[in-house]
Amino acid sequence: MFFEAKLRVEKTLDTGEQKEVKEHYIMDAELFAEAEKMMFELYPNQKIDVFSIGRSDIREIINDKEDDKPFFKATVIDVFTDDETGKEKETKYYMLVCAENTVEATLLVNEYLKQGYNLRLDGIKRVKIIDYLPYQPA
């Protein structure tokens, strides 16, 4: 299960000035407590304030985070026929992709969807998530 967390942390800027910044992470964890623990492990010797943590609506992360590239949130739609009513229904899913820009993100998502998934891309937008923290079993 993915969780998203937002925190405040003091950082030293290139100018040497100390400034409080807000950071947004997504992590794979089983419990809220594990997700919060991961935030404190990121900054072991610093005072941080985890001011928001919750389950993410992201279902899948398509590729690994690359240093200079931001994350984009893709909305994909699964169109299927309801077995009971015979009517066509849609379900939205959200995926995260790391890319240089929206064009590259769109290409990566479409390429991923060609792997046999019966989904179509509905939209894509840049998000403030700066990193993904994978699950770490105890």
* pLDDT confidence of residue 57: 97
Q: CA–CA separation, 7 vs 48, rounded Å?
A: 7
| CB 120, CB 76: distance < 8 Å | yes
SS3 54: strand
Alpha-carbon dihedral angle through residues 78, 128, 54, 45, given to the nearest 10 degrees = 140
β-pair type (18-28, 58-61): unpaired
- pLDDT tens digit string along 101-131? 999 999 999 999 998 777 899 999 999 999 9
Domains in the chain: boundaries: 1-56, 58-127
Confidence band of 79 (pLDDT split at 50, 70, 90): confident
> Is the whole-model pTM more than 0.85?
yes
